[in-house]
Amino acid sequence: MTRTGNLFQKATNLSAIFVFLFLLSGCYQPKKDFYRFNGENALEMRAPSGQIKLFFEAFPQKGILFSINYKGRNILEPSRLGLTNVQNRPFLAQPEIEKVIGRSYREQQAGEAAAGHNYNELAIYLRGKEVPDRRMKLLVRLYGNNIMAFRYEVLSGLSENIDINGELTEFILPKGRQNNFYSGQLGDNPIQPDTHIDFPVWFSSRNAWVRISDVEKVPTASLRKTGDFTLDIISETGTVINFFPFPFPWREITIADSKEKIVNTEIPSSLK
User: Consecutive sets of 10 residues in the chain, 272 residues long: mean pLDDT of each?
Assistant: 48 45 49 86 95 95 95 96 90 92 82 80 93 90 96 84 90 79 93 89 94 85 90 86 91 97 92 78
What is the C-alpha to C-alpha distance for residues 51 and 202, in angstroms, rounded to an integer? 19
Tell me what pLDDT residue 16 has: 47
Tell me what pLDDT residue 7 has: 43
What is the C-alpha to C-alpha distance for residues 251 and 172, in angstroms, rounded to an integer? 16
In terms of Cα–Cα distance, which of 187, 190, 173, 183 is closest to 260? Answer: 187
Tell me what pLDDT residue 12 has: 47
Tell me what pLDDT residue 181 has: 92
DSSP designation for 269: G
In terms of Cα–Cα distance, which of 130, 139, 46, 146 is closest to 90? Answer: 130
In terms of Cα–Cα distance, which of 189, 79, 85 is closest to 128? Answer: 85
Tell me what pLDDT residue 26 has: 45
Tell me what pLDDT residue 27 has: 56
What is the C-alpha to C-alpha distance for residues 54 and 150, in angstroms, rounded to an integer? 12
Tell me what pLDDT residue 111 has: 63
Tell me what pLDDT residue 233 has: 93
Tell me what pLDDT residue 102 has: 96
**Using an 8 Å Cβ cutoff, are 151 and 247 in contact?**
yes
Tell me what pLDDT residue 140 has: 98
In terms of Cα–Cα distance, which of 28, 252, 64, 269 is closest to 140? Answer: 252
Tell me what pLDDT residue 179 has: 54
Both ends of the chain: CA-CA distance in Å?
A: 50
